[in-house]
Amino acid sequence: MKQQIILSGLGGQGVLFVSKILGEAALARGLSVLMSETHGMAQRGGNVISHVKVFEREKGKPEGERDAATDPAWHVSPLIRPGHAHVLVALHEEGVKAHGHFLSPNGTLVCNRTPRTGPGDVDATGIARKLGNPVAANLVLLGFAAASGALFCSLDDLRRVLEKLGGPRRDANLAALEAGAEAGGE
Amino acid sequence: MAERKILLGNEAMAYGLLEAGCTLAASYPGTPASEIVGTLAALKRSGSIAMHVEWSINEKVALETALANSYAGRRSAAAMKQVGLNVAADPFMSAAYTGVKGGLVVIVADDPGPHSSQTEQDTRQFAMLAKVPVLDPLGPAHARDLLHTAFDLSEDYEVPVLFRPTTRVCHARQDMEIRPFRQDQPAPVFEKDPARWAATPKFRFLLHKQLNEKLDAVSRDSRLQPVQLNPAVSAEKAAGVIVASGAVCTHASEILKDLGLWEEIPLYYAPMPFPLPEDFLTGLLDQARRILVLEETQPVMEAQFRDRAKVQGRLSGHVPREGELLPETVEGIVRTFAGLPEAAAPKGAAAPGRRPTLCAGCGHRAAFFAIRKVFPRGIYPGDIGCYTLGLNLGAVDTVLCMGASISQAAGFYHAFRDSGQNSRPIVATIGDSTFYHAGIPALINAVIQGCRFVVVVLDNATTAMTGHQPTPAEGNTLDGRSVPKVSIEDLARACGVRHVSVGDPYDFEAFTGLLKAAKEHTRDPENGGMAVVIARRPCLMDRKQPKPDRKPVPAINDKCQGCGFCITHFECPALVFHGKEEAVTVDDVLCSGCGVCAHVCPHDAIEIPSQPQAGKESNHS
Ligand code: SF4
Ligand code: SF4
């Protein structure tokens, strides 16, 4: 397993969006991903969690000829066990209380929190507000995590994913990522 | 190289249906199954697929529709969540007897945990009850492939096939190669055969016999035999073996590898947990010293071992009898099974976490607050949807199943009236989609039984909880043909309700007036009876709806003493509590500018500034 990441936040903060960006970054690197996410009632403001697992793609038989017995990619569990996450990305500091137990003792914590309590903290919401785009705190935090070297992928990988994604928020998304990266590269 | 995409399990299953040449898919939305037909519906809207796709009125109708398409020789699918199959149980049980022509796959998503459901029921037990085969995929990519086998199996044996993913399959995302969809659609052929398609009880006995024979043959089908995932280790030499199905099997596989047991304990994956082949069961009982069965959520495979002296699972108490089998739980079970010490795993969450709540500015919140105000001593039977969260506001007292708010309100009405306490007001709340799904017969019944209570239909013009699927009020099919709109007020009147009104809960005073008038109607000794009030306010999260006019973000004046009333009784997430005696503040990022909170504060501390502001940022200091 290359990297196991827990993303934690409250419903509506864009946990799902961040996990999708990470997934695309893995795919662009030729890696495989398996992710698990929260849907339904909890998305209405409750604690939301995404499990992201990134691993080397097995070069086995062509896909059409595989079956359950032979394809190792199909034997990966979609969930990360407590104490096994390499990184915890908390979009809200409550995520540390709710999901902190997933982090491995040697893992890295990245948290949207002010005032800062440690090197992994950043005021992502504050930075996003300054950009006039308070809902983009998720991307600020992602940029911060990438620039501080916590992730399997580089800031450049994430930039390319957001560029490819395009859409009306493209520029605002990229600006948020860069602002976070600046805070992370300090 | 083929294009690779990351697909959600439910998307992968939608692709699987298209690759397998399915010609009709019908569903009623429900977490965790919604995105299966949701994906197909999006493709249908964009005109990229020929398949008939529909959001049916309920699961029973969805299944019956799909079944007839299959009688006509075409591959068909119905998709639903596990409790949806309860609604569709009637056609499902009978379809097992009649069998099918074109392959029929009934995808039913289970929700161990449960995360978003009323029960943890195991659909595989439904398969046993109905005597149909059930497949249990490992994950998204596997589910896509296994659907092909499901259709082949269904056609080869002319039997419906249940396909049972769990939440962890439906809501996992995985990268996979994209393949072309099958384009040919066989012409419909319906061969009349009344002894089969319209069988009377006498012929049903024969159909039952045939079904039993089909099931025996299916259990031996080579495509779906249990497979040993680590064939290097032999069951005879090992201290024990594990048999698993579904996502739990992936947890087991990862944990065996992590604990260095991959070469020690044989792991069997059963793609078809029912019916398990007799040879496999007896063979394993012969060879293995101990057999651990890991499955969700009920003992289905475990129960098929006739001699369970060696078998450990949910029946024997080695596996918890309820709840999701999370990987950490599986690790504990496997460690005990293998005689390893307990893991020094970190304990669970330090905090219970936040409970979900209605969105800031949700029209339901305003409606619930008004109901509490007009019927302070009411009994409030509720229903299934976002508005179940009226619980937090003390405006939902019961939640049972789709449509039950109205029938339960009737039951409460009879209980109190029959004991002479006519005065206890009863207000049922039900969403628009739920009303269409199962509320109508209950409303007719309340009318014809002479009930007198108020039904508030919370009409947000969509099926919000499950991702904003359309309702019959939309008046369009997925491919854009216009069809009659079915209106809730017309339906309510047609059900025999004489007092029907419609209002916008944002318009708080007027809406409160409607509730009062409805209350009067239920009490009018001469002409009174049932009353329906439709609270019409589009869901804020539904991108298809026009954005409502924003009022300025409320201002909190110095009358605010931090009493917390607006927090406990209204709970708008944009209102932030800072403790007693501190004034609340407004989170301008979350606030939608609905203006309703101004009606809530008993001290008039919340005001909506009269000057509209340019943008929401300008209010932030
Ligand atoms: S999604 Fe819509 S209906 Fe559901 S809570 Fe939010 S605003 Fe209300
Ligand atoms: S106006 Fe009041 S009730 Fe409406 S969203 Fe804002 S804070 Fe909540």
The ipTM (two decimal places) reads 0.94
Determine, for residues A38 and B115 on separate chains, whether the beta-carbon distance falls below 8 Å: yes
Confidence band of B504 (pLDDT split at 50, 70, 90): very high
Note the pLDDT of residue B422. Answer: 66
Q: Which atom of ligand 2 is found nearest the CA of B586?
A: 7
Note the pLDDT of residue B347. Answer: 66
Q: What class, spelled out in words, does domain B4-222 have in CATH? A: alpha beta
CA distance B481 to B489: 23
Q: pLDDT of B339-384, one tens digit each?
A: 999 887 666 666 677 788 999 999 999 999 999 999 999 999 999 9
Mean pLDDT of B169-178: 95
Question: What count of other Cβ atoms lies within 10 Å of the Cβ of residue A62?
Answer: 8
Query: Higher pLDDT residue, B582 or B353?
Result: B582
Note the pLDDT of residue B589. Answer: 83
Which residues are near ligand 2 (CB < 6 Å)? B 360-361, 554, 572, 574-575, 586, 591-597
Task: Provide CATH 3.30.70.20 ranges for chain B.
Answer: 549-621
pLDDT more than 70, % of chain A = 92
CA distance B443 to B492: 8
Determine, for residues A82 and B251 on separate chains, whether the beta-carbon distance falls below 8 Å: no
Question: What count of other Cβ atoms lies within 10 Å of the Cβ of residue B423?
Answer: 9
Task: Name residues whose C-beta falls within 8 Å of residue B481's C-beta, 6 or more positions apart in sequence.
Answer: none
Helix (H, G, I), strand (E, B) or coil at B44: helix
Q: Is B170 annotated as a binding residue?
A: no
Q: Residue B122's Cα: distance from chain center in Å?
A: 14
Q: Is B597 annotated as a binding residue?
A: yes
Find, among B136, B154, B156, the residue nearest to B146 by Cα: B136
Determine, for residues A74 and B142 on separate chains, whether the beta-carbon distance falls below 8 Å: yes
Amino acid letter for position B251: H
Element (H, E) at B38: helix B34-45
Task: Provide CATH 3.40.50.920 ranges for chain B.
Answer: 225-338
Task: Name residues whose C-beta falls within 8 Å of residue B109's C-beta, 6 or more positions apart in sequence.
Answer: B30, B32, B33, B36, B79, B80, B81, B82, B164, B165, B166, B167, B169, B170
Q: Which two tokens stand for residue B193?
A: 């055969």
CA–centroid distance, B433 to ligand 2, in Å, is 25
Residue of A nearest to B572 (CA): A45
Q: What class, spelled out in words, does domain B363-474+481-536 have in CATH? A: alpha beta
CB B438 within 8 A of CB B58: yes
Residues in chain B with CB shorter than 8 Å from the CB of A16 are none
Confidence band of B184 (pLDDT split at 50, 70, 90): confident
Q: Which two tokens stand for residue B150?
A: 């499901």
Residue of A nearest to B4 (CA): A27
CA–centroid distance, B599 to ligand 2, in Å, is 11
Note the pLDDT of residue B479. Answer: 87
Task: Name residues whose C-beta falls within 8 Å of residue B116's C-beta, 6 or more positions apart in sequence.
Answer: A39, A40, A41, A42, B31, B32, B167
Q: Residue B106's Cα: distance from chain center in Å?
A: 15
Beta bridge partners of A122: A112
Q: How far is B595 from chain A (nearest CA, A)?
A: 20
Interface of B with A in 198-227 (CB under 8 A): 227
Q: Is B566 annotated as a binding residue?
A: yes
Would you tell me the crossing angle of helices B123-130 and B89-98 to the nearest 10 degrees? 40
Is the pLDDT reported for residue B514 higher than 50?
A: yes
Is the pLDDT reported for residue B101 higher than 50?
A: yes
Is the pLDDT reported for residue B21 higher than 70?
A: yes
Residue indicated by tokens 């699961």 = B59
Q: The domain B549-621: what is its CATH number?
A: 3.30.70.20
Q: Is B560 annotated as a binding residue?
A: yes
Amino acid letter for position B261: L
Query: Higher pLDDT residue, B422 or B498?
Result: B498
Determine, for residues B176 and A63 on separate chains, whether the beta-carbon distance falls below 8 Å: yes
The answer to whether B576 contacts chain A (CB < 8 Å) is: no
CA–centroid distance, B551 to ligand 1, in Å, is 18
Note the pLDDT of residue A60. Answer: 64
CB A1 within 8 A of CB A55: yes
CA distance B114 to B121: 9
Residues in chain B with CB shorter than 8 Å from the CB of A98 are 349-351, 353-354
Residue with CA at minimum distance from ligand 1 atom 3: B539
Interface of A with B in 39-68 (CB under 8 A): 39-47, 57, 63-64, 66-68
Q: pLDDT of B380-402, one tens digit each?
A: 999 999 999 999 999 999 999 99
Domains delineated in chain A: 3-57+70-184 (3.40.920.10)
Q: Which two tokens stand for residue B120?
A: 């943890």
Q: pLDDT of B112-142, one tens digit each?
A: 999 889 999 999 999 999 999 999 999 999 9
Note the pLDDT of residue B616. Answer: 42
Residue with CA at minimum distance from ligand 2 atom 4: B594
CA distance A87 to A107: 5
Q: pLDDT of A64-95, one tens digit each?
A: 666 766 777 788 999 999 999 999 999 999 99
CB B82 within 8 A of CB B268: no
Task: Provide CATH 3.40.50.970 ranges for chain B.
Answer: 4-222, 363-474+481-536
Note the pLDDT of residue B611. Answer: 60
CA–centroid distance, B359 to ligand 1, in Å, is 5
CA distance A97 to A180: 23
Q: pLDDT of A108-148, one tens digit each?
A: 999 999 999 999 999 999 999 999 998 899 999 999 999 99
Domain B225-338 fold is Rossmann fold (3.40.50)
CA distance B516 to B510: 10
Residues in chain A with CB shorter than 8 Å from the CB of B328 are 81-82
Determine, for residues B354 and A27 on separate chains, whether the beta-carbon distance falls below 8 Å: no
Report the residue of B171, B225, B388, B571 to disrupt the A interface, i.e. the one with the largest count of A CBs within 10 Å.
B171
- The contacts found for B211-215 with CB under 8 angstroms, 24 or more apart, are B211/B96, B211/B97, B211/B99, B211/B131, B211/B159, B212/B131, B214/B99, B214/B157, B214/B158, B214/B159, B215/B131, B215/B132, B215/B133, B215/B159, B215/B275
Query: Higher pLDDT residue, B45 or A41?
Result: B45
Find, among B164, B185, B188, B152, the residue nearest to B70 by Cα: B188
Mean pLDDT of chain A: 91
Determine, for residues A42 and B251 on separate chains, whether the beta-carbon distance falls below 8 Å: no
CA distance B310 to B307: 8
Interface of B with A in 95-134 (CB under 8 A): 115-116
Find, among B340, B220, B228, B221, the residue nearest to B284 by Cα: B228
Q: Which two tokens stand for residue A142?
A: 């992602």
Residue of A nearest to B136 (CA): A68
Which of B74-78, B407-411, B441-445, B544-548 bottoms out in mean pLDDT, i.e. has the lowest? B544-548
Helix (H, G, I), strand (E, B) or coil at A33: strand
Which parts of B316-448 fold into alpha helices (H)?
327-338, 363-374, 404-418, 432-434, 440-448
Note the pLDDT of residue B614. Answer: 46
Taking the CA of B591 as reference, the closest ligand is 2
The answer to whether A135 contacts chain B (CB < 8 Å) is: yes
Q: Which two tokens stand for residue B621?
A: 């200091």
CB B216 within 8 A of CB B257: no
Q: Which two tokens stand for residue B32?
A: 């965790």
Determine, for residues B356 and A41 on separate chains, whether the beta-carbon distance falls below 8 Å: yes
Report the predicted TM-score, pTM, of the whole model to 2 decimal places.
0.95
Is any ligand 1 atom within 6 A of the Cβ of residue B541? Answer: yes
Confidence band of B465 (pLDDT split at 50, 70, 90): confident
Find, among A133, A12, A17, the residue nearest to B540 by Cα: A12
Mean pLDDT of chain B: 94
Torsion angle of C-alpha atoms A13, A15, A16, A17, degrees rounded to 10:
70
CA distance A169 to A133: 10
Phi/psi region, residue A167 (left: phi>0; alpha: psi -120 to 50; beta: rest), is left
The answer to whether B160 contacts chain A (CB < 8 Å) is: no
Amino acid letter for position B268: Y
CB B483 within 8 A of CB B392: no
Q: pLDDT of B288-320, one tens digit each?
A: 999 999 999 999 999 999 999 999 999 999 999
Find, among B56, B62, B30, B55, the residue nearest to B40 by Cα: B55
